[in-house]
């Protein structure tokens, strides 16, 4: 049996793989702490549940228009006006099964084989794989100064005559960094000057801390929605803690939306009408749910930073948003895959190797869970790695003694 070489070359999603490893360990009764997962623990907002449930009880669950149900599009138009200060038409919006599918549709719509897509490191692990799936070439820009923010000159150097698009994700998964406004303004100017599509993956744009507000990406362009190269991608997964509902959307020029709609029509037909109804409920219901989630995550961020500061050898950059941080663990092991496996085996803590995000020597820690998960998880990591920490620890009701340092 022979498979497509391209398909075989696509890496497994590291976070989904780790979720599975954690699930299997939990099933065996092991007290695993999951600092790998990118989803908040809250229940879906009541407005989303009621809206989805009332659609379900009609029993009338059929295909929806390929680009999304009109009432959800209306809610996205309102969202865009409130959060991006842009009035767009329904024809500028496509709804898909998660921001992930939106991104895939975009890459498929924009890239011919061998076209280049510029990605800024650290990056979300799915970008390069999705670009490879449509036979494009990911071009990674890694900040030369070892920080998580590339300089505009470094980005410009990565642009060639084959560059078709660039992706910016700020607040950033995996570092939690929010790019300075001046950098985003420079990137928008660069892309529009060179005719490159700029995909703003804004999935975390309202999960920001310390009174920060991420400006609308459209603030940096004078072009209208039909002629700008800026495309905004968003969804309900992270903002409302509705990861399993799988609804995301893009705001883009009409022609591009039309092409993406054709792609979606030939692949999934449409996002589930039931889940679109739930998403509409989330967007139209009380928005205080977003603020309470944000506050809880900001508190977790503070706890994580406190814990990491007392972790000898670990260098942590304070996240301005998201629910991730990407501390530097090179003092303990320069190989992040080895280190993550060691921590899972010895301390039953799931972390994600920084290598998966283009930052070897770092580990991505998620603080989307409870404060207890975060504090217990980091103290287990200290126990496993730091010779100055006490060499005995209770994990669950079992006492473990460290005998390897
Ligand atoms: N973009 C980034 C940066 C993400 O971290 C994620 C999910 O982890 C997504 C997009 C996908 O979002 P969705 O769950 O809506 O597909």
Atom of ligand 1 nearest to the CA of 247: 15
Atom of ligand 1 nearest to the CA of 101: 16
Atom of ligand 1 nearest to the CA of 243: 14
What band does 397 get if pLDDT is binned at 50, 70 and 90?
confident
Q: Mutation test of ligand 1: which of 37, 203, 205, 236 has the most ligand atoms closer than 8 Å to its C-beta?
A: 203
In this prediction, residue 192 carries a pLDDT of 97
Topology adopted by domain 5-43+288-401: 3.90.1150
Percent of the chain with pLDDT over 70: 100
CA gap 122, 132 in Å, rounded: 18
Select from 47, 70, 20 the least CA-distant residue to 245: 47
For 88-96, what is the mean pLDDT?
Answer: 98
Residue 170 has a CB neighbour count (10 Å cut-off) of 26
Q: How far is the CA of 100 from the centre of ligand 1 (A)?
A: 6
Q: Mutation test of ligand 1: which of 19, 100, 120 has the most ligand atoms closer than 8 Å to its C-beta?
A: 100
In this prediction, residue 38 carries a pLDDT of 84
Q: How far is the CA of 25 from the centre of ligand 1 (A)?
A: 25
In this prediction, residue 242 carries a pLDDT of 96
What band does 396 get if pLDDT is binned at 50, 70 and 90?
confident
In this prediction, residue 142 carries a pLDDT of 97
Give the mean pLDDT of the chain: 95
What band does 21 get if pLDDT is binned at 50, 70 and 90?
confident
* Residue 14 reports pLDDT greater than 80: no
Residue 15 CB–ligand 1 contact under 6 Å: no
3-state secondary structure the chain: CCCCHHHHHCCCCHHHHHHHHHHHHHHCCCCCEECCCCCCCCCCCHHHHHHHHHHHHHCCCCCCCCCCCHHHHHHHHHHHHHHHCCCCCHHHEEEECCHHHHHHHHHHHHCCCCCEEEEECCCCCHHHHHHHHCCCEEEEECCCCCCCCCCHHHHHHHCCCCEEEEEECCCCCCCCCCCCHHHHHHHHHHHHHHCCEEEEECCCCCCECCCCCCCCHHHHCCCCCCCCCEEEEEECCCCCCCHHHCCEEEECCHHHHHHHHHHHHHHCCCCCHHHHHHHHHHHHCCCHHHHHHHHHHHHHHHHHHHHHHCCCCCECCCCCECCEECCECCCCCCCHHHHHHHHHHHHCEECEEHHHHCCCCEEEEECCCCHHHHHHHHHHHHHHHCCCCCCEEEECCEEEECCCC
Residue 38 CB–ligand 1 contact under 6 Å: yes
Residue 203 CB–ligand 1 contact under 6 Å: yes
Highest mean pLDDT among 14-23, 39-48, 62-71, 392-401: 62-71
Model confidence pLDDT, tens digit, residues 55-68: 999 999 999 999 99
Contact 290, 85 (CB under 8 A): no
Q: How far is the CA of 155 from the centre of ligand 1 (A)?
A: 23
Atom of ligand 1 nearest to the CA of 235: 15
Q: How far is the CA of 74 from the centre of ligand 1 (A)?
A: 22
CATH code, 46-284: 3.40.640.10
In this prediction, residue 18 carries a pLDDT of 79
Place of tokens 């696509």: 10
Return the residue whose CA atom lies nearest to atom 5 of ligand 1: 173
In this prediction, residue 37 carries a pLDDT of 83
CA gap 204, 172 in Å, rounded: 8
* Residue 197 reports pLDDT greater than 90: yes
What band does 333 get if pLDDT is binned at 50, 70 and 90?
very high
pTM of the complete model = 0.96
What band does 334 get if pLDDT is binned at 50, 70 and 90?
very high
In this prediction, residue 76 carries a pLDDT of 98
CA gap 92, 353 in Å, rounded: 37
For 144-156, what is the mean pLDDT?
Answer: 97
The answer to whether the bond into 276 is cis (omega within 30° of 0) is: no
In this prediction, residue 12 carries a pLDDT of 84
Atom of ligand 1 nearest to the CA of 38: 8
Q: How far is the CA of 403 from the centre of ligand 1 (A)?
A: 40
Model confidence pLDDT, tens digit, residues 374-394: 999 999 999 999 999 999 999
More confident: 320 or 17: 320
**Which residues, listed in sequence order, are joined to residue 118 by a DSSP beta bridge?**
139, 166
Residue 243 CB–ligand 1 contact under 6 Å: yes
* Residue 310 reports pLDDT greater than 90: no
What band does 13 get if pLDDT is binned at 50, 70 and 90?
confident
Residue 171 CB–ligand 1 contact under 6 Å: no
* Residue 19 reports pLDDT greater than 90: no
CA 336, 117, 153 angle in degrees (round to 5)? 80
Q: Where are the domains of the chain?
A: 5-43+288-401, 46-284
């Amino acid at each position: 049996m022979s498979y497509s070489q391209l398909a075989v070359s696509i890496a497994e999603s590291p976070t989904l793989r780790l979720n599975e490893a954690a699930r299997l360990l939990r099933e065996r009764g092991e007290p695993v702490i999951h600092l790998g997962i990118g989803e908040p623990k809250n229940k879906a907002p009541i407005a989303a549940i009621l809206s989805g449930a009332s659609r379900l009880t009609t029993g009338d669950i059929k295909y929806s228009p390929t680009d999304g149900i009109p009432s959800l599009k209306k809610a996205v138009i309102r969202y865009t006006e409130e959060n991006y200060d842009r009035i767009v038409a329904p024809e500028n919006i496509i709804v898909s099964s998660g921001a992930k599918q939106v991104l895939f549709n975009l890459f498929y719509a924009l890239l011919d084989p061998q076209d280049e897509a510029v990605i800024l490191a650290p990056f979300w692990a799915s970008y390069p794989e999705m670009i490879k799936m449509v036979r494009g070439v990911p071009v990674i820009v890694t900040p030369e100064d070892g920080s998580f923010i590339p300089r505009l000159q470094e980005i410009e150097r990565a642009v060639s005559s084959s560059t078709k698009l660039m992706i910016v994700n700020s607040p950033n998964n995996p570092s939690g960094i929010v790019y300075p406004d001046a950098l985003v303004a420079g990137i928008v100017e660069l892309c529009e000057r060179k005719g490159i599509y700029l995909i703003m993956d804004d999935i975390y744009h309202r999960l920001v801390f310390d009174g920060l507000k991420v400006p609308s990406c459209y603030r940096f362009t004078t072009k209208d929605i039909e002629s700008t190269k800026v495309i905004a991608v968003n969804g309900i997964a992270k903002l409302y803690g509705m990861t399993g509902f799988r609804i995301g959307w893009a705001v883009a020029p009409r022609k591009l939306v039309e092409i993406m709609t054709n792609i979606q029509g030939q692949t999934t037909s449409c996002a589930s009408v039931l889940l679109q109804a739930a998403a509409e409920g989330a967007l139209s219901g009380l928005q205080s749910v977003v603020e309470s989630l944000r506050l809880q995550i900001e508190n977790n961020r503070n706890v994580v930073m406190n814990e990491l500061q007392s972790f000898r050898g670990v260098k942590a950059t304070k996240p301005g948003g998201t629910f991730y941080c990407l501390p530097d663990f090179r003092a303990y092991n320069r190989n992040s895959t080895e280190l993550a496996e060691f921590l899972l085996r010895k301390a039953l803590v799931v972390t994600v190797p920084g290598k998966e995000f283009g930052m070897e020597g770092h580990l991505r820690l998620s603080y989307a869970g409870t404060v207890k998960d975060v504090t217990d998880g980091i103290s287990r990591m200290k126990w496993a790695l730091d010779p100055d920490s006490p060499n005995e620890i209770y994990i669950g009701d079992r006492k473990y003694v460290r005998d390897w340092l």
